[in-house]
Amino acid sequence: MFKGIILDLDGTVYLGGHEIEGAGDFVRGCHRHGIATLFVTNRSNRTPAVVAAQLQSYGIECGARDIWTSSQATAHYLEAGTAYTIGEPALDEALQDEGFTISDQAPDYVIVGFDRAFTYAKLKRACNLIHKGARFIATNPDHGLPLHDSIAPGTGAIVAAVATGCQVPPLYIGKPESRIMTMGAERLGLAAADILAVGDNLTTDIPAGHAAGMTTALILTGYSTRADLAAAPVQPDWVVESFAELKEIVGT
């Protein structure tokens, strides 16, 4: 039996503002069987407290300590310094919690996250600062966010604009890189081999879990479809249609 489960959020536990059927019941079952859970998300624009409150509304027992965002992972991974950010307040908060100073005056880093107020002026500032020597960091490469009936442009769309403008590639912290997952395992206090990574995205969740040395399960509740499996370079260990099916695998 697994000792820990790392769950993606968007498209896995919820879609838009609605719980994926069975998500809460699955997490409660894990807790009854002594299996630790951690929610790891590429989203950088919400604080752990806000995310935890949403999960609590689904009857999921969790606190801010059980959430690990790409903003937190970015702030934890980098050596503290000065940073110009393209993002929303949660990104700055995570950075400041780790000792960073937010500044647009010769910063050590330009850090790009999800930003619904992204402008050409921000793009120009970021490109100029990178040209002057700031290190280009991206919280994640997500192309889009799954909604109920559409896809919203994600952080990756903004990162691509900056990368094109400055002709410098970023260092990615979030999925599909293993960094955020390895930090998640450390947060759980477990070895990667004892963790099942569950997500809905074949281009981010599954490669990240695999690269970190975890068993992976694709749940077909969000971004990727069964048809996408044929072209996926990293295959999940399991593919499930629902949390009910996942419960059978985990034994809860």
Confidence at residue 146, expressed as pLDDT on a 0 to 100 scale: 63
Q: Which residue has the higher pLDDT, 144 or 55?
A: 55
Active site members:
8, 10
Q: How confident is the model at residue 175 (pLDDT cuts 50, 70, 90)?
A: very high
Could you give the angle at which helices 243-250 and 23-32 cross, rounded to 10 degrees?
A: 20
Name the DSSP class of 134. Answer: P
Q: What percent of the chain has pLDDT over 90?
A: 89
- Answer for the pair 170, 191: CB distance below 8 angstroms, yes or no: no
Using CA atoms, how far apart are residues 210 and 56, in angstroms rounded to an integer? 29
Q: Which CATH class is domain 4-42+175-250?
A: alpha beta
What whole-number distance in Å separates Cα of residue 79 and Cα of residue 175? Answer: 20
Would you state the pLDDT for residue 132? 97
Residue type, 6: I
- Per-residue pLDDT at 81: 98
When pLDDT is cut at 50, 70 and 90, the band that residue 151 belongs to is: confident
Q: Is 101 helix (H, G, I), strand (E, B) or coil?
A: strand
DSSP letter assigned to residue 227: G
Tokens of 250: 């985990």
In angstroms, the Cα distances linking 85 to 72, 73, 88, 135 are 14, 15, 9, 12
Task: Give residue 115's pLDDT.
Answer: 96
Euclidean distance between CA atoms 116 and 153, whole angstroms: 9
The stretch 139-154 carries a mean pLDDT of 80
Looking at residues 174-189, what average pLDDT do you find?
98
Q: Binning pLDDT at 50, 70 and 90, where does residue 148 land?
A: low
Q: How many whole angstroms separate alpha carbon 184 and alpha carbon 67?
A: 9
- Compute the mean pLDDT over every residue in the chain, rounded to the nearest whole number: 95
The mean per-residue pLDDT over the stretch 154-168 comes to 97
For residue 147, what pLDDT is reported? 66
Q: Is 161 helix (H, G, I), strand (E, B) or coil?
A: helix
Q: Pairing mode, if any, of strands 109-112 and 82-86? A: parallel
| CA dihedral of residues 206, 210, 212, 217 (deg, nearest 10) | 60
* Intervals of CATH 3.40.50.1000 along the chain: 4-42+175-250, 72-172
Q: Which residues contact 223 (CB under 8 A, 6 or more apart)?
A: 11, 144, 146, 200, 201, 202
**Inter-CA distances, 186 with 4, 89, 192, Å:** 11, 26, 9
pLDDT classification of 252: cutoffs 50, 70, 90: confident
- Confidence at 152, pLDDT banded by 50, 70, 90: confident
Residues 22-65: pLDDT tens digits?
999 999 999 999 999 999 999 999 999 999 999 999 888 899 99
* Phi, psi of 184, rounded to the nearest 5 degrees: -65, -40
C-alpha distances in angstroms, 89 versus 69, 145, 148, 229?
A: 13, 19, 25, 36
Predicted TM-score (pTM) of this structure? 0.93
User: Alpha carbon of 21 to those of 92, 169, 222, 243: distances in Å?
Assistant: 33, 39, 12, 7
pLDDT at 143 over 90: no
Q: 81-108: per-residue pLDDT in tens?
A: 999 999 999 999 999 999 999 999 999 9
Domain boundaries 72-172, CATH class:
alpha beta
